[in-house]
Amino acid sequence: MKIAHILPHSAAFPLENHNGRYEWVRQLALLQAKQGHSVTIYGSPDSVVSGVATAGISNASDDRENNNKETFRLAFSQDHDVYHSHFDNLHYEVSSETSKPVVYTQHWWPTQQTVELAKSAKASNVWAVPPTNYMHSFDVSSGIQTKGHIYHGINLDIFKKSDTQKSGRFLFVGRISPEKNLDLALSAIKKAGVQLDIVGKVAAKNQQYWQNLQQYIDGDQIRYLGQKNQTELVDLYSAARGVLCPFEATEAFGLVVIEAQACGAPVIAKKGGSRNELLQEGKTGLLYDAEEEFVTAIHKAETLQSEDCIQFAKNFDIISMAKAYEQLYESLI
């Protein structure tokens, strides 16, 4: 098959800064190329991805949306069998310009605008790919065209338990932002009397939120470690007593939940959404609702076994994910 992955015009490889969505696309494209498909990533014309073709418009303007639309049109002008969008909504505006199938991975929870565009779009060749069954149910009830969910996958050759000794500390990995509910985790950690390490980026728009949390971070019981690369994250996951994921229930997926379990760390997550799909309650993780339950779960985390976590994470192998996308493409073509 001839597959086109379409990213924003600003997306340039190699990545200067970590971007989970872009890295996910790169890994999927590489796997598809290894399977013998002809794969092109559309984004910045300066991108270089070893093993995969790249392309981008050369006449970019200051109009970001127009640049992205022109990137779609460049892809449409080439002879691809399927177009895989990694935008939230833009594909609905341009997909009528091709008769080929357009799929888009729902990297974010659908907004009301997405629902409205999906209902009003004239093109019937756009198919959403939700990463969980929970989101698939939402899509169906909202009138978003989809053929079913495909779980996000991770590279289990990278995310695996290392030889790092257990630290006895808990771990939080994620953006430092209100929807990640780090404030709730800090409060629970204080009440539980245990230790926590924080890894994540603080964006400019979240500086005030971050400043409000400084009262908790003493450099001993609670430490901020900044941003970490993949290798460092694997060691931190492997050493953790447990990983806290108090994220909002409407988060699209939650790769941290799977990465942690793949490295042998149990996960404590807020009830709701797709959480019961991403961990085994009482075996690889614990779910809570009220803060008292959060504190209790923190104390119970050490009763869960690393081996069970690792075994469950095998359900989210990126190779299986790539095969599922291949089957979806074939069904639409």
Q: What is the 3-state secondary structure (H, E, C) of the chain?
A: CEEEEECCCCCCCCCCCCCHHHHHHHHHHHHHHHCCCEEEEECCCCCCECCEEEECCCCCCCCHHHHHHHHHHHHHCCCCCEEEECCCCHHHHHHHHCCCCEEEECCCCCCHHHHHHHHHCCCCCEEEECCCHHHHHHHHHHCCCECCCCCCCECCCCCCCCCCCCCCCEEEECCCCHHHCHHHHHHHHHHHCCCEEEECCCCHHHHHHHHHCCCCCCCCCEEECCCCCHHHHHHHHHHCCEEEECCCCCCCCCHHHHHHHHCCCCEEEECCCCHHHHCCECCCEEEECCHHHHHHHHHHHHHCCHHHHHHHHHHHEHHHHHHHHHHHHHHHC
At residue 305, the pLDDT reads 97
15: which 2 tokens?
């990545």
Domain 170-315 homologous superfamily, CATH? Glycogen Phosphorylase B; (3.40.50.2000)
At residue 171, the pLDDT reads 98
214: which 2 tokens?
């400084």
**Residue 132: CA count within 13 A, CB half-sphere:** 23
At residue 19, the pLDDT reads 78
CATH no. for 2-153+317-332 = 3.40.50.2000
Q: Do domains 2-153+317-332 and 170-315 have the same CATH topology?
A: yes
Domains of the chain, residue spans: 2-153+317-332, 170-315
Give the rounded percent of residues in the chain with a pLDDT score beyond 70.
99
CA distance 296 to 26: 40
Query: Which residues of the chain are under the pLDDT cut of 70?
Result: 18, 122-123, 249
Query: φ and ψ at 196, to 5 degrees?
Result: -140, 140
At residue 123, the pLDDT reads 63
